[in-house]
Structure 1
Amino acid sequence: MAQQLIVAVFDSVDVAGRAGVDFRNFEEKDLGFKIESGVLVQKDATGKLILLDKQTRPFWGTVIGALTGGLIGMLGGPAGAIAGFTIGASGGLAGHALKDTLDNELTASISSKLASGSVAFILEAKEASPFEVDNIVLGYGGHVFRRPLA
C-alpha cells in the first residue's frame, strides 16, 4: 500500500463529519486503507485554520503526523505545536523532505478550495487504491488532494 497525504475539503462541518464516518467505516473493512493520523480543520473568517478538536479526537486521537502539522501551518494554522495534540514523526521525514512534499503548488491548490467556513480532513494514510476515498469525497461534493509520501 502506498503512503499518502490526503486532504479532503468540504463545505461544512456536518458534511465532513459524515465523510469522516465513511472513511473510518472503509478503514474498518480492512480493504487496503489505513489512517495513520488525521485532523479536521476549519478556515475562519480571518483566514486562520482552527483545529476542530471535538470532531477530531473521537476518530484519530491526539497524535498527528509531522506532515499534517506542517501543512496546517502553511495553510494558516497555528505555528508550532497544536494545542492538545502531539506532532509525531511521519515516516522519519526530515525538514527538507517536508518542504519538498508540501510544495507551493499543493498548498495553493488546497487553499483555492478551502474558503472561509469550509473544512478539511488532513489524513496521513496508506491506501491500495484512491478509488474508495475519492468516491466518498466526491459523493459529498468535496475536493480531494493527494501527495505520495516516501
Structure 2
Amino acid sequence: MAQQLIVAVFDSVDVAERAGRDFRNFEEKDLGFKVESGVLVQKDATGKLILLDKQTRPFWGTVIGALTGGLIGMLGGPVGALLGFTIGASGGLAEHAIKDALDDDLFAWMSSKLTPNHVAFILEAQEASPFEVDNIVLGYGGSVFRKPLA
C-alpha cells in the first residue's frame, strides 16, 4: 500500500464528521486503507487553524503524526506550531522530510479550498487505491488532495 498525506476539505463540521465515520468504516473492512494519524481542523473567521479535538478523538485518538502536525503549524494552528517547534528543535532528517512533503502545491491547494469556516481532515494513511476515499469525499461535496510519502 502507498503511504499518503490526504487532505479532505468539507463545508461544515457535521459533514466532515459523517465523512470521518465513513473513513473509519472503510478502514475497519480491512480493504487496503489504514489511517496512521488523523485530525480534524477548522479555519476560523480570522484565518487561524483550530484543532477540533473533541471531533478528532473518536476517530483516531490523540496522536498527531509529524507531517500532520507540521502542516497544521505551517498553516497557523497552535498544536502544529508546538509540534513543529519540537521537530525543529530536534533538527535532522525528520525536519527536512517534513518540509519536502509539505510543498507549494499543497499550500496553494489548501489556501484555495480551506477558507474560513471550512473543515479539513488531515490524514497520514496507507491506501491501496484512492477510489473509495475519493468517493466518500466527493459524495459529501468535499475536495481532496493527496501527497505521496516516501
Superposition RMSD in Å: 1.8
For residue 106 of structure 1, report the CA deviation from its aligned partner. Answer: 0.9
TM-score after normalising by structure 2: 0.91
- Aligned pairs for 1:99-138 within 5 A: 99-138=99-138
Q: How far apart, CA to CA, are the structure 1 residues paired with 2:43 and 2:27?
A: 27
Secondary structure class of the residue paired with 1:45? coil
For residue 74 of structure 1, report the CA deviation from its aligned partner. Answer: 1.5
Q: How far apart, CA to CA, are the structure 1 residues paired with 2:132 and 2:39?
A: 19
Secondary structure class of the residue paired with 1:117? coil
Aligned counterpart in structure 2 of residue 80 of structure 1, from 75, 79, 82:
82
Corresponding residue number in structure 1 for 2:90: none
Q: How far apart, CA to CA, are the structure 2 residues paired with 1:108 and 1:80?
A: 23
CA contact (8 A) 1:74 1:107 kept: no
For residue 99 of structure 1, report the CA deviation from its aligned partner. Answer: 0.8
Q: How far apart, CA to CA, are the structure 1 residues paired with 2:82 and 2:108?
A: 21
Number of equivalences:
143
Gapped regions of structure 1 (runs ≥ 5) = 88-92
Secondary structure class of the residue paired with 2:82? coil
Runs of 4+ in 1 over 2 A off after TM superposition: none
- State percent identity of aligned pairs: 85
Q: How far apart, CA to CA, are the structure 1 residues paired with 2:138 and 2:68?
A: 22
Q: Deviations over 1:14-44 (max 9, x none)?
A: 0000000000000000000000010000000
For residue 81 of structure 1, report the CA deviation from its aligned partner. Answer: 3.4
Code of the residue aligned with 2:121 in structure 1: it is F
Corresponding residue number in structure 2 for 1:40: 40
Gapped regions of structure 2 (runs ≥ 5) = 88-92
TM-score after normalising by structure 1: 0.91
